């Protein structure tokens, strides 16, 4: 069924987009993931309405993997749901827990298939995936076209990446401690919140180490940071 131009414009205007600034930083002892919490409705001209000031953009996949999301909210949720199910089925069939690389490849395959299916609303999704397995701690970027890249230093995604990347370029150094990585991630998200209208409100920060995934900081839209020990 072919949609008329007016219907296409209305769909684009009212699709919930996460806008987004997400940051992933490789540190000496693990990975830091951070994201803002603003959800927006976007039209052709950019942000048209702030829909939420408490929109989660970091999600668990299983007990050893988390992902940040950027793009159309419903599509990112769908990809996560499908990946969770496929990883669980693989674990049941093989009696082994899938590796982080297996999970990243599955994400990229689903994203690749989704963006190549015809739809009046293009399935734009981008993820930063961090996790730990018996071989180590890893950070991957799954691009909107399905391209998979392993990240060995840092990456930022979403509409606020133009504010975050210069800070990462100038202040990142190999061998950062997790504490230093958390401070740099906060700085990046705060810079994007000041300049990018689709990024804002609160911040969530997680760390991934060889033994655990932990939320280390959470800031609501109108409250101070709460450290979680």
Q: Which sequence positions are flagged as catalytic?
A: 20
* Residue burial 196-217, b: 16+ Cβ < 10 Å; e: rest: bebbbbbbbbbbbeeeebeebb
**Phi, psi (degrees; rounded to nearest 5) at 13:** -65, -35
Tokens 């409250």 correspond to 223
Closest by Cα among 223, 195, 227 to 21: 195
**Residue of 104, 108, 109, 93 lying closest to 65 (CA atoms):** 104
Identify the bridge partners of residue 65 per DSSP, sorted by sequence position: 62, 131
**CB of 178 within 8 A of CB of 38?**
no
| Cα-trace Rg, the chain | 17
CA–CA dist 43, 6 (Å, integer): 13
Distance CA 212, CA 201 (A): 27
What is the Cα–Cα distance from 62 to 134, expressed in whole angstroms?
15
């Amino acid at each position: 069924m072919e949609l008329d131009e007016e219907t296409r414009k209305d769909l684009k205007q009212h699709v919930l987009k996460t806008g987004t600034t997400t940051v992933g930083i490789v540190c000496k002892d693990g990975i830091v993931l951070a994201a803002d919490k603003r959800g927006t409705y976007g039209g052709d001209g950019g942000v048209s309405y702030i829909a939420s000031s408490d929109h989660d953009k970091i999600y668990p996949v299983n007990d050893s993997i988390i992902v940040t999301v950027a793009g159309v909210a419903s599509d990112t949720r769908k990809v996560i749901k499908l990946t969770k199910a496929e990883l669980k089925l693989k674990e049941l069939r093989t009696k082994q827990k899938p590796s982080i690389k297996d999970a990243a490849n599955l994400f990229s395959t689903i994203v690749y298939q989704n963006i190549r299916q015809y739809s009046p609303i293009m399935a734009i999704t981008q993820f930063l995936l961090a996790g730990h397995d018996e071989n180590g701690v890893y950070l991957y970027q799954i691009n909107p076209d399905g391209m998979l890249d392993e990240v060995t230093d840092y990456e930022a995604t979403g509409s606020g990446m133009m504010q975050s990347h210069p800070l990462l370029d100038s202040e990142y150094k190999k061998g950062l401690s997790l504490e230093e990585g958390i401070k740099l991630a906060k700085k990046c998200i705060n810079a994007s919140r000041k300049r990018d209208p689709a990024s804002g409100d609160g911040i969530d920060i997680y760390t991934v180490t060889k033994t655990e995934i932990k939320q280390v900081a959470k800031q609501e839209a109108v409250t101070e940071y709460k450290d979680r020990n």
